[in-house]
Amino acid sequence: MKVYYASVQRRHDPSFEVEDGGERSAYFESPARVESILKALREIVWAEVSEPADYGLAPIRAVHADGYLEFLRTVWDEWLATRDVSAAPTQDAGFLPATFVLRRQVAHLPRSLLGRAGYYMMDLSAVIVEGTYDASLASANSALAAAQAIGGNDSGSAFALSRPPGHHAGRDYAAGYCYINNAAVAAQWLSSRGKVAILDIDYHAGNGMQDIFYQRADVLTISLHADPSEEYPYYAGYADEVGAGEGTGFHRNFPLPAGTEDAEYLRTLDQALELLQRFAPSHLIVSLGLDIHENDPLGQFKITSDGILSIGKRISSLRLPTAIIMEGGYNTADLGANVASFLSAFERE
């Protein structure tokens, strides 16, 4: 299996985030996640890790607003320029706004950096540091390389070790460790070749994916996740959100309760896969979030490692050209082995 990853993705390395209640803590979405996955993949013969090509900004601009991308490109340097020149950023510096927009009330985009930051950033986990923009571009390129690898095939699969992840990033905002929506960029690129389905199995609802494709009928988006009335992102991911306009019926959420175990998850997955098969896509994108695992510090599902393999086997049984894009998963002790197990389900005779 082709695996795509660029070392520049390590450059996004915030030292902190702000958790619920205002507590400052170590950043869960760390480069150690990548090290765990790469270590596991390098121990198996069928994983071929390659550097992705640079696909330029055009595929990313097809998904994200130009103003937002320009903000990501310039925010770090602009922030440094506003600081006392004698006060160099400390090792644990990171940029976050203190004010966030109520989007339904917005009529104007502020000129000030902090005002724009509150418009383009949803929460306090999408910390921006010097390497964030370059790492995010490379992460999207990894997803595009996986999409290209399956784009001309009738079957087969590829894996993008995308980091930072992407499924919380909307058309014009960063959120939940995500800056560029890697899976959405890949899906948009593949949509010129036929219908595309996105299956998001991350513990948290893919609000960014929902935002981007909510009014489209050529891309089916399905998300299995924790109940958003209790879990992040709180304001999207409900079962009655089914698309709008031409996209009505082409988005489906399957919220699940805390404590969900293998059997219940697999029953729900079977329902999602029936919808997917009826849609009959030419290509499949899997947003692979392994924070569903029972030992993950940011999830409350009880999915075992055997359950993760079973999930992979059910999805693989569709025998669709499949690009698997890495999303969440924060228990680095188990993450690499779980990724390798999931991917092994796609190794075909």
CATH code, domain carrying 230: 3.40.800.20
Within a domain: residue 31?
Answer: yes
Instruction: Find out whether 128 and 114 touch, Cβ atoms under 8 Å.
Output: no
* Catalytic residue (choose from 168, 225, 251, 293): 168
Model confidence at 349, pLDDT cuts 50, 70, 90, reads very low
Q: What is the mean pLDDT of the chain?
A: 94
Compute the residue count for the chain. 349
Q: How far is 284 from 194, CA to CA, in rounded Å?
A: 11
| Pairing mode, strands 48-50 and 219-226 | unpaired
| Pairing mode, strands 157-160 and 2-4 | parallel
Mark whether 168 is an active-site residue: yes
Tell me the percentage of the chain whose pLDDT exceeds 90. 88
> Residue 276 sits in which domain range?
2-64+128-344
Instruction: Find out whether 174 and 126 touch, Cβ atoms under 8 Å.
Output: yes
Beta-carbon contacts of 16 under 8 Å, excluding residues fewer than 6 positions away, are 24, 25, 26, 27, 92, 94, 127
Model confidence at 237, pLDDT cuts 50, 70, 90, reads very high
254-266 average pLDDT score: 98
Within a domain: residue 101?
Answer: no
Helix axes 66-82, 113-120, angle to 10 degrees: 140
Beta-carbon contacts of 84 under 8 Å, excluding residues fewer than 6 positions away, are none
User: In which element (H, E) is residue 339 found?
Assistant: helix 332-344
Within a domain: residue 90?
Answer: no
Structure tokens at 342: 């999931």
Model confidence at 93, pLDDT cuts 50, 70, 90, reads confident
Distances (CA, A) of 61 to 210, 256, 308: 17, 33, 34
CA 176-178-184 angle, 5° bins: 125
Q: pLDDT tens for residues 135-157?
A: 999 999 999 999 999 997 666 99
Could you tell me which of 30, 25, 39, 37 has the C-alpha nearest to residue 10? 30
Within a domain: residue 145?
Answer: yes
Q: pLDDT tens for residues 109-137?
A: 889 999 999 999 999 999 999 999 999 99
Within a domain: residue 162?
Answer: yes
Model confidence at 90, pLDDT cuts 50, 70, 90, reads low
Model confidence at 339, pLDDT cuts 50, 70, 90, reads very high
Q: pLDDT tens for residues 19-71?
A: 888 889 999 999 999 999 999 999 988 899 999 999 999 999 999 999 999 99
Within a domain: residue 224?
Answer: yes
User: In which element (H, E) is residue 251 found?
Assistant: strand 251-256
Number of structural domains, the chain?
A: 1
Instruction: Find out whether 186 and 150 touch, Cβ atoms under 8 Å.
Output: no
The DSSP 8-state label assigned to residue 95 in this structure reads B
Q: pLDDT tens for residues 177-215?
A: 999 999 999 999 999 999 999 999 999 999 999 999 999
Write down the pLDDT at residue 82: 83
Within a domain: residue 117?
Answer: no
Within a domain: residue 187?
Answer: yes
For residue 261, the one-letter residue type is E
Q: What is the pTM of this model?
A: 0.96
| Pairing mode, strands 24-25 and 17-18 | antiparallel
